[in-house]
Amino acid sequence: MTVEYHGRNALVQTEDVAFTFESAENPRDFDKYRSAQETLDWTDQEYLIGNYRVFPYGTNNDLPKVIKDVVQNNSIAPGILKKKSQLIWGKGPQLYTEVIEDNALKRNWVQDKEIQDWLDSWEYLDYLNKAVVDFSNIEGVFTKFNMAKGMRVGRPSVASLEHSSPEDSRLATDLQLLNPKPKYCIVTDWTFKRVVSVTDYKVYALFDMRNPFQYRNAILYSNMYSFCSDYYTVPDIYGSLEWVRRSSAIPMILKALSKNSINLKYHVISPARFWEEKKGELEKKAEQNGEKYQDSDLIKYKTEYLRQVSKVLSGAENTGKFWHSIKYATVEGHKIFEEGWEIKEIKQNIKDFVASQISISDQANRMVAAGVGMHPALGGAGESGRSDSGSEQLYALKNYLLTGIDIPEQIIMKAINYALKLNFPGKDFKLGFYHMAPEKEEDVSEKKRIKNN
């Protein structure tokens, strides 16, 4: 029997049986097994580190990592989010002033050498690029203010801004305070895989515009407010993670079908707790034998156990394949989530099966685009086999520029515009993203049309 692993997934093949299965060392890492209402309730969960109470970002304090893993393993979500970042960026950051002309708010784009020299001194484009990507994925940006060592023109100033990864940054407060309002930002590897010990962390005060130069370094968390959510933003893509996972799973299913040239005959569902308990038994056995438990021990056990299942299902009357997935259950309050082994026969109809999977994939792609706030015509997630018309793309772009740019720009530019106000109080300039107004091709001169450029 051969086993081809793809992260937590695998494709298993014997002489007359093939199946795929999915498992987890800790099923609670898969928030798909819990309801959205339960996983979004992080208020009562706190982490203690040193003399600080840390407010977790997600049920397991790993929401940024969950989103990163789910998105980057998908075929379409990274492209949609990159397109969203590109639309926010437009032609790039430029200085401007705001004026009201003919009862309409307008921007006058300007250039200023003194401000530009300061921006160029700390690679502001790289910082803003990371801020745009963070906002597109998780709708929040962590920025560290680095204050100048000396005095600038007789007053303190901001030397530079620095991007802080949302995967490593967490809001916190003093351990003894009952007030839950965050006062600090603690930066470390919260998986503690890249640091020496749990004491390897940095603490920064939160930036306060009313007293900006109180600390040499401070962190500002600028974010989109989520309704009734404490501390952090719940990004729109969170509600689409199930669709993203479904979209990512379908290629594996079709790969199993294509590679082995016959239908999946069975769908075998096993309880996640079964594998958790087996892992505990293997860890205990290794400890008793004076050995160190390895993840490969559980993989070896899974392989052998599923081999026995395949023998049962590959008898003379059961020759074929089966799809194996994990079923999990727990009891919380009055809610009961089922668990247990279950075997379902899959009707062998390749054409209908493939067509249904492709249909699900198309719907999943459209839902992913909707979840990140992108029109399918802009995100490339339109109906399969149909190219979105130019007018549809044009009006989708116009609508996005009119309604989808201002708030993201305000959040992304919040830190840098604070710094401009502190460093150049006599200049009423802001930094924003420059966008060119889209036009119909027939309204553009022949030589300037896209097809001729």
Q: How far is CA 257 from CA 31, 40, 200, 353, in A?
A: 28, 37, 48, 10
Residue of 351, 161, 336, 181 lying closest to 254 (CA atoms) = 351
Provide the whole-model pTM: 0.68
| Residues 133, 83 contacting (CB under 8 angstroms) | no
Residue of 207, 206, 158 lying closest to 425 (CA atoms) = 158
* The pLDDT of residue 215: 93
Angle (CA) 185-432-65 rounded to 5° is 35
Strands (E), 264-365: 264-271, 321-327, 331-332, 335-336, 342-345
* Exposure class string for 187-200: b at 16+ Cβ within 10 A, else e: bbebeeeeeeeeee
What φ, ψ does residue 13 adopt, rounded to 5°?
-140, 130
Q: What is the pLDDT of residues 169-187, one digit of tens each?
A: 999 999 887 667 899 999 9
CA dihedral 383, 387, 388, 391 (to 10 degrees): -160
Place of tokens 């967490």: 170
CA dihedral 94, 99, 101, 107 (to 10 degrees): 10
Place of tokens 């086999």: 385
DSSP 26: S
| Residues 430, 92 contacting (CB under 8 angstroms) | no
Residue of 1, 2, 22 lying closest to 10 (CA atoms) = 22
End-to-end CA separation in angstroms for the chain: 56
Q: How do the residues of the chain divide into helix, strand and coil, expressed in percent and rounded to 5? A: 40, 25, 35
**Residue 333 corresponds to which tokens in the numbers above?**
């309050």
Most distant CA atoms of the chain, gap in Å:
89
Non-local CB neighbours of 172 within 8 Å, separated by 6+ positions: 49, 52, 53, 54, 55, 182, 183, 184, 185, 186, 203
Strand partners, 144: 162, 219
Residues of the chain with pLDDT under 70: 1-44, 150-154, 178-179, 194-198, 257-267, 269, 312-341, 343-349, 376, 379-391, 438-453
Strand partners, 22: 9
Q: Compute how many other C-beta atoms are within 10 angstroms of the C-beta atom of residue 158.
A: 22
